[in-house]
Structures are given as structure tokens and as C-alpha cells.
């Protein structure tokens, strides 16, 4: 028949099948491996779940950081754009104020020249031209309060002292022109034709503008968003706290980190309310303003914690069930192995004496014969028979006969103690002993010890009397050679047993000469 080469797929199937059988056999013989494997799998699942949850926490924080950066960017762009528009209006006011002709125009034309439409925006509190003495000399509404002096304002003093200030952001102040409304001023210096200080162009921006900008931003239950100046002066805050507006947070550890860089993100505990927040900030280009978004870490992680609790509970529950089932399977396999071992012992053990039975004897004898052939060591066999056992049974009963057999068994096992020796009940009142690596002399010594020990043993009867029991023993020893097999050794030991009985019983007969068996009649 031609040789056929297996396909790779078929070889793979055979390999998988063999591996599955091997694993099944290993688990079957090592039941606690199933419980340990189940426990390790459950722990691995829990570890993967924890790793996934950890990644989810990092993702939640990263998402919050990206969202905060986007919000800060939008806030910064809005502020920057409005400041640019206001600055253009201020420059137009400065140019108009420096032109002497502007002051000779009619009032309505003068306002049109000095103030453009941007100065009427809803978030502006007013547009003003202030003279060199601090008096308001023009407004976009045309209403001028000559009694109001603004020479003490920080923006006025800054421009008065230095011609290079440029666009100036004032600190929050209570307006003297608008009934104490809280505002900040954007100002530019006005110079006369000679370059001397001639006044200030002022745009008053209501604080409500900043607050309205923040009110549209959702930062969660405990989050915060605010606009602060680079010297720590707070302009707006959500949640709104009127007493904080205009105050300084320059000494706050959170602000000190913002003052050190143009933009960034960090996590810190607020010194005001003790809430742990993620602060994302950015300086508004061309201004002293810093836009800050600070969602609370607990708010950011709340959805993640909710999912984590659900996933964690399910993982623990399923893992516990998996471990329990694994160990139940392990204990079931253990009980099965114990039951199988018990069945094997029952199949290999004589129920009365507890010795190995004839099947075990044949198997072990064959193994020892092959081993003796390899090692060229002698192998000895003893055949032991209880003398006149049939008469003993008929006289004292089968119960006493069983007691006699048990007593003989104890005598044999007390003498034959090596782990490599085999003691078996051959059948009825006959016993066999296999003595590996034992010479003729050694086998004869063992046999004599057994015979004397049995002879000194008395069996108690039901009527209280004691009866002596004796045995006859046949010994045969051989170094396996060609032409001789284990059956020849057994036959030789059997012949020596008959010789011992023929010599009067309670005897030991031994030989090292192995011959083919010759059929003989059984002695009584």
C-alpha cells in the first residue's frame, strides 16, 4: 500500500486532538490542577478588568483635559477678538481726539468722529475721552458730567506717567459715571501735537460681560471656571461669588502655577473649598488675562466610577462562581480518582487477607523476570501452603479457617518487608512470595523465618482453645537464561512445595535448578 503524506490541516487536527487528550489526562490525574487553573483564570480576568478600568480612568481624565483645553481656547479666542475690536475703537478715539478740528465740530458730528459703532456694544459700559486734568470731556452718549474727576484711576496715572504703556487693562472699579457699576477699563494715552500727555481714551467694559461668558460653560456640580489677571486679580468666576470679584488670588498655590507658564494643565486641591480640580489655563494673547477651566476630578470620574462599580461587582461575582465551579470540579475529580483507586485496589487485592491477588502476582512476576534478565540478578519465588487446611476447616469451621489464613498472612508480611518484594494469595490456602535480587540462601532464610513464625502462632477457636498451624514452603531461584521462562520458575517452586509436603510438612524445600515441569499428583 503506497505511503500517504498527511495534509497540514490533518496533521494540525491530529496534533490538537493529541494535545487535548494529553491535557485531559493530566487534569484527570491531577484534580487540584482544575481548581488552581480556574482560580488563576479568575484572577487573570480580574486583573484584565482592573487594567481596563485603569485605562478607562486615564481616558476619562484625558477626555476632560481635552474638553477643558477646547473650552479655554474658545474663551481665549472670544476675549482676544473683542479686545482687538475695542483696541481699534480706542485707536480711532485717540486719533480723533488728537485732531484739533474734531473739537470744533458740532456735537453730533464730533461723536461720530470720536466714537465708532463698536463703542455701543452691549457689553460696553461706556466710551469716554478724559482730559489731561482727569475730567471727562466727551462720551459716546453726549452726556458729560463736568464734576466727575478720574485723575486718581490707575489707568489715568499709568498713562500720565509713561508714554509707552500702550493698551492698558485696569483693575476692576466702581464707575463714577454709571452709578457704581463694576467695570474694568481699556485705555490708551492721548498726546498733543508736541507729544505731551493730553488725556486718556477709555472704554469701560462691564464685569457682566465676563460673567455672562462664563455662565454659558458647564463644568459640573463642583467644577469652576474663572478669568483672572496676571497679577492675581479675579475678574469673573463660576460659581459666582460677588465678594470675590476684584479680589486677589495671587497667594494661592493654584494661581502661582498659572503665573509661571503661558498655558498648561495640572491637578490640585482648591484652597477655597478643598475640592480637587483639574486646572486647564491659557493666557489671552495681547492681554494680561488668563482663562481658566477647572472641572472637579470627582465629577470627571463619576461616570467611570459608576461603570467601574458595575463591572467590578460583575467580575467578582462571575469570578467567584468560576472559582467555586472549578474547585467543585476539582473535588469531584479527586473523589473520582479515589473511587477509581479503590476499585483498582479491590481488583488487585484479596478481600480476606488484603494481599495482592493472582492477577497482580502474574503481572509483577513477569516484570521482575524481565528485570532480572536485564540485570542478570537472581530471582526467587516461595510457594507457601497451610498444612492440613481442609481438615482444619472441617474441624473448626470456615470462620476459624479464615482466622488462620489472616494469621498466616500477618506472619508472612512481618518477615517480607522490602518494598520490591511481592506477597500474594495464590488461591485457597496457598500464598506466593516473589523475592527479586535474592539468592538461594537468602530465599531459604526468608522461608525458614516464615515457617518458624507461623509455627509459633496459635489460632484461638470459638471455644477458647488455641490450635497451632503450620505451613510447608517450596523455594526456587533462577538467574533467567535462554530456554527458561517465568513459568518454569513457578513450576520449580511448586515442585519444591510438594517435596516439602512429602517430607512430612512443616518443612522448607529449596532448589536453584530450574527444569521443565513434570505433572505430579497432588498430596493430601
Which DSSP string corresponds to 239-280?
Answer: S--GGGTT-B-TT-HHHHHHHHSSEEEEEEE-TTT--EEEEE
Burial 340-370 (b: 16+ CB within 10 A, else e): eeeeeeeebbbeebebbbeebbeebbeebbe
For 27, residues 6+ apart whose C-beta sits below 8 A from its C-beta are: 33, 34, 37, 333
Q: How many CB atoms lie within 10 A of CB 453?
A: 17
pLDDT at 5: 54
Helices (H), 349-388: 358-375
Q: What is the 3-state secondary structure (H, E, C) of 129-154?
A: EEECCCEEEEECCCCCCCCCECCCCH
For 523, residues 6+ apart whose C-beta sits below 8 A from its C-beta are: 498, 501, 502
**With DSSP H G I counted as helix, E B as strand and the rest as coil, what are the percentages for the chain, rounded to 5?**
50, 20, 30
**Is 126 within 8 Å of 141 (Cβ atoms)?**
yes
Write down the residue that cell numbers 479686545 correspond to. 83
Q: Quick one: angle between helices 207-215 and 31-98, nearest 10?
A: 150
Residues in the chain: 524
Helices (H), 349-458: 358-375, 389-396, 398-415, 440-455
Give residue 321's Cα distance to chain centre.
Answer: 17
Q: How does pLDDT run along the chain (524 residues), one tens digit per residue?
A: 444 555 666 655 655 554 444 445 544 556 777 778 888 888 888 889 889 888 999 999 999 999 999 999 999 999 999 999 899 989 999 999 998 888 888 888 888 888 877 666 777 888 899 999 999 888 888 777 767 888 999 999 999 999 999 999 999 988 887 778 888 999 999 998 888 999 999 999 988 888 888 988 888 889 999 999 999 999 998 888 878 888 888 888 888 888 888 899 999 888 777 889 999 999 999 899 999 999 999 999 999 999 989 988 998 898 888 889 888 888 888 888 788 777 777 777 888 888 988 888 999 999 999 999 999 999 999 999 999 888 888 888 888 888 889 999 999 999 999 989 999 999 889 999 999 999 999 999 999 999 999 998 877 555 556 778 899 999 999 988 767 888 899 999 999 999 999 999 999 999 877 765 444 444 43
| C-alpha dihedral, 26 to 28 to 33 to 37, nearest 10° | 90
Q: How far apart are CA 332 and CA 238, in angstroms?
A: 65
Of 302, 422, 496, the C-alpha closest to 517 is 496
Q: What domains, with CATH codes, occur in the chain?
A: 210-299 (3.30.450.20), 358-511 (3.30.70.270)
Of 240, 226, 223, the C-alpha closest to 295 is 223
Q: Is pTM, for the whole model, over 0.75?
A: no
**Is 479 within 8 Å of 498 (Cβ atoms)?**
no
Residue 290 exposure: Cα atoms within 13 Å on the Cβ side? 28
Amino acid at each position: 500500500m503506497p505511503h500517504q503524506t498527511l495534509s497540514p490541516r490533518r496533521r494540525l487536527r491530529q496534533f490538537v486532538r493529541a494535545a487535548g487528550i494529553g491535557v485531559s489526562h493530566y487534569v484527570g490525574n491531577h484534580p487540584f490542577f482544575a481548581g488552581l487553573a480556574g482560580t488563576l483564570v479568575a484572577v487573570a480576568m480580574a486583573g484584565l478588568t482592573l487594567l481596563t478600568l485603569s485605562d478607562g480612568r486615564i481616558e476619562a481624565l484625558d477626555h476632560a483635559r481635552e474638553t477643558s483645553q477646547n473650552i479655554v481656547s474658545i474663551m481665549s479666542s472670544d476675549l482676544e477678538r473683542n479686545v482687538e475690536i475695542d483696541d481699534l475703537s480706542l485707536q480711532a478715539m485717540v486719533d480723533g481726539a488728537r485732531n484739533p478740528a474734531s473739537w470744533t465740530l458740532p456735537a453730533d458730528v464730533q461723536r461720530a468722529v470720536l466714537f465708532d459703532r463698536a463703542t455701543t456694544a452691549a457689553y460696553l459700559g461706556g466710551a469716554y475721552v478724559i482730559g489731561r486734568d482727569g475730567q471727562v470731556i466727551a462720551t459716546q452718549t453726549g452726556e458729560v458730567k463736568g464734576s466727575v474727576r478720574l485723575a486718581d484711576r490707575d489707568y489715568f496715572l499709568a498713562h500720565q506717567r509713561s508714554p509707552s504703556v500702550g493698551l492698558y487693562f485696569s483693575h476692576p472699579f466702581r464707575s463714577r459715571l454709571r452709578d457704581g457699576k463694576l467695570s474694568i477699563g481699556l485705555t490708551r494715552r492721548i498726546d498733543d501735537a508736541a507729544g505731551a500727555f493730553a488725556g486718556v481714551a477709555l472704554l469701560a467694559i462691564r464685569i457682566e460681560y465676563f460673567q455672562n461668558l462664563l455662565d454659558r460653560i458647564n463644568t459640573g456640580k463642583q467644577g469652576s471656571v474663572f478669568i483672572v489677571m496676571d497679577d492675581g486679580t479675579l475678574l469673573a468666576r463660576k460659581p459666582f461669588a460677588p465678594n470675590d470679584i476684584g479680589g486677589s488670588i495671587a497667594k494661592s498655590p493654584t494661581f502661582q502655577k498659572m503665573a509661571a507658564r503661558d498655558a498648561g494643565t495640572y491637578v490640585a486641591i482648591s484652597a477655597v473649598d478643598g475640592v480637587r480640580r483639574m486646572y486647564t489655563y491659557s493666557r489671552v494673547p495681547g492681554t494680561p488675562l488668563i482663562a481658566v477651566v477647572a472641572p472637579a476630578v470627582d465629577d470627571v470620574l463619576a461616570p467611570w466610577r459608576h461603570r467601574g462599580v458595575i463591572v467590578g461587582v460583575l467580575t467578582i461575582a462571575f469570578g467567584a462562581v468560576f472559582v467555586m465551579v472549578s474547585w467543585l470540579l476539582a473535588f469531584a475529580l479527586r473523589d473520582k480518582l479515589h473511587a477509581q483507586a479503590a476499585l483498582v485496589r479491590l481488583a488487585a487485592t484479596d478481600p480476606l487477607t488484603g494481599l495482592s491477588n493472582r492477577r497482580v502476582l502474574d503481572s509483577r512476576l513477569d516484570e521482575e523476570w524481565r528485570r532480572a534478565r536485564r540485570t542478570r540478578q537472581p530471582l526467587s519465588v516461595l510457594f507457601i501452603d497451610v498444612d492440613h487446611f481442609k481438615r482444619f476447616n472441617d474441624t473448626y469451621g470456615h470462620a476459624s479457617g479464615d482466622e488462620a489464613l489472616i494469621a498466616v498472612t500477618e506472619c508472612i508480611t512481618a518477615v517480607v518487608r522490602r518494598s520490591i518484594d511481592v506477597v500474594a494469595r495464590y488461591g485457597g490456602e496457598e500464598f506466593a512470595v516473589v523475592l527479586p535480587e535474592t539468592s538461594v540462601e537468602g530465599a531459604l532464610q526468608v522461608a525458614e523465618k516464615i515457617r518458624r513464625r507461623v509455627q509459633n502462632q496459635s489460632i484461638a477457636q470459638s471455644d477458647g482453645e488455641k490450635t497451632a498451624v503450620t505451613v510447608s514452603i517450596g523455594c526456587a531461584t533462577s538467574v533467567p537464561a535462554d530456554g527458561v521462562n517465568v513459568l518454569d520458575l513457578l513450576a520449580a517452586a511448586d515442585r519444591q512445595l510438594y517435596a516439602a509436603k512429602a517430607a512430612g510438612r512443616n518443612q522448607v524445600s529449596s532448589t536453584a535448578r530450574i527444569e521443565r515441569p513434570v505433572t505430579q499428583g497432588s498430596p493430601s
